[in-house]
Amino acid sequence: MFLIPMENPDKIAIPLFLERCAAGFPSPAQDYTSSELDLNDYCIRHPSATYFVRAQGNSMQDVGMRDGDLLVVDRSLRPQHRDIVIAEVDGGFTVKQLQTTPRLALLPMNNAYSPIYPDPDELTIFGVVTHWVHRARGNL
């Protein structure tokens, strides 16, 4: 697994438009912004416990995660049922949805893959995926 450590970069404020962008029928755009948005503040709540990793493969495609997407992972969060997590399985790392009930499982979000049923005493979670970044241009 290739980890990219989180550093404390300079804040970059990007305009955040007041109007939402319609994904259905278009609406006229407003000529002003409501505030500014810093993606570090938006995506990273615990900088010292956050790291980045790239997704590999298509086992999570049904939730919109694609091969090469940049995952934002927070190690300080306690994994909960249905969280997307980074876990160690058989000496390697995987990104899957955590199922805690009725039986512990790591679920792929692609029917072409099978669930993983780890031994609860041997499962290590390396963090909860809080966001992921998908490059739209050039990947359509």
Tokens found for residue 71: 């995952």
Do 91 and 36 contact (CB within 8 A), yes or no?
no
Tell me if residue 59 is catalytic.
yes
Catalytic residue, candidates 34, 59, 76, 114: 59
**DSSP summary character for residue 41:** H
d(CA 90, CA 117): 11
Helices within the chain (DSSP H only): 39-43
d(CA 53, CA 71): 5
Catalytic residue, candidates 48, 76, 96, 114: 96
Tokens found for residue 80: 């909960």
Do 94 and 116 contact (CB within 8 A), yes or no?
yes
Do 107 and 83 contact (CB within 8 A), yes or no?
no
Q: Which residues are catalytic?
A: 59, 96
